[in-house]
Amino acid sequence: MKVFYTDDCIDHICAAAIVKYKFPECELCTDFYLDAIEPNEKVFLLNYQPVNIEALNDLCELVCIDDLKNINFGIEGIQKSGTLSGLVWNYLFSENTPPVVNLLKKGSLKDILVFKYGSASHNPVADNAIFWEQLFGDWSSIYFNVLVKEGEKIYRYIHTEAVKYCNNYSFEIEVMGAKCVVLNKYDEIFQWIVKEKQCDALILFLFKQNKWECTLYSNNHTTNIIQIGHALFDEYKEGDNNKAIFTCAILPFV
């Protein structure tokens, strides 16, 4: 049995860990190889879109769980909005949702960052069975609270340093009537500063792979960061009206 997933965020890692918790013998894979799949083998696709999903469905017993509604035909699984870890837990267990899954589903950005900081030293990769068993098992609340307490101390320090950095190095621009704070940095902690700066949007930019990657954030539902991004940058990469990523060859504000 194989599980294909992306390890680009804690929600996706947790989702893969849930499948591993249910099926300890399964193999977790972040790289997709059709040749590695045995005929009639059970395969989970967690937000993972191979090139030829129809061929894969003919080859194996396929289960797709996708929080982006990317799959629109009759394969067993779930295709609807929600956190991936929440969808996977409901699909495999349906009850007694552990605190970490509820956090990823309902928690604020700050709460999720606190958990991530608290768990970072515990090697929270998807195949670390001991770590995730403590978070999914009968005593999950105790271990979860320990991690949160550790994370709160780390968060306070990182947040203080981030505010200092933002105050010293950020600048403001106005785009389509929206007040935007701009910063040459990328870290999730800076998303929280949108509230503290009382701005409409935050723009973080870094030079990656011979182009500028610019990430826009907003928690203001009246601010359309997609429109702001199109007004400033060359190419839309991905995202929604809470977070959107654009790229450009030359920054428009320097």
Q: Are residues 26 and 93 in the same domain?
A: yes
Angle (CA) 43-49-51 rounded to 5° is 100
CATH at residue 175: 3.10.310.20
Would residue 164 count as lying in a domain?
no
Task: Point out the residues of the chain with pLDDT beneath 50.
Answer: 71-75
The model's pLDDT over 34-79, given as tens digits with 9 standing for 90+, comes to 888 899 999 998 987 766 777 787 888 888 888 765 544 444 555 5
The residue behind tokens 């003919």 is 58
Q: Are residues 112 and 16 in the same domain?
A: yes
Same domain, 216 and 110: no
Q: What pLDDT score does 149 carry?
A: 97
Last residue of some domain: 153, 187, 216?
Answer: 153
Model-level pTM?
0.81
Cβ pair 211, 247 in contact under 8 A: yes
| Other beta carbons within 10 Å of 80 | 10
Is residue 127 in a domain? yes
Domain count, the chain: 2
Q: Which residue range(s) make up the domain with 226?
A: 170-248
42 to 4, 7, 48, 57, 126: CA distances (angstroms): 11, 21, 15, 10, 19
Q: Last residue of a domain, which of 153, 180, 212?
A: 153
What pLDDT is attached to residue 72? 45
Q: Is residue 186 part of a domain?
A: yes
Tokens of 10: 């804690």
Q: Where residue 144 sits, what CATH number does that domain have?
A: 3.90.1640
Two tokens, residue 116: 């991530």
Task: Please indicate, yes or no, whether residues 146 and 102 belong to a single structural domain of this protein.
Answer: yes
CA 78/CA 46 separation, integer angstroms:
10
Q: Do both 114 and 60 map to the same domain?
A: yes
- Shared domain check, 122 and 21: yes
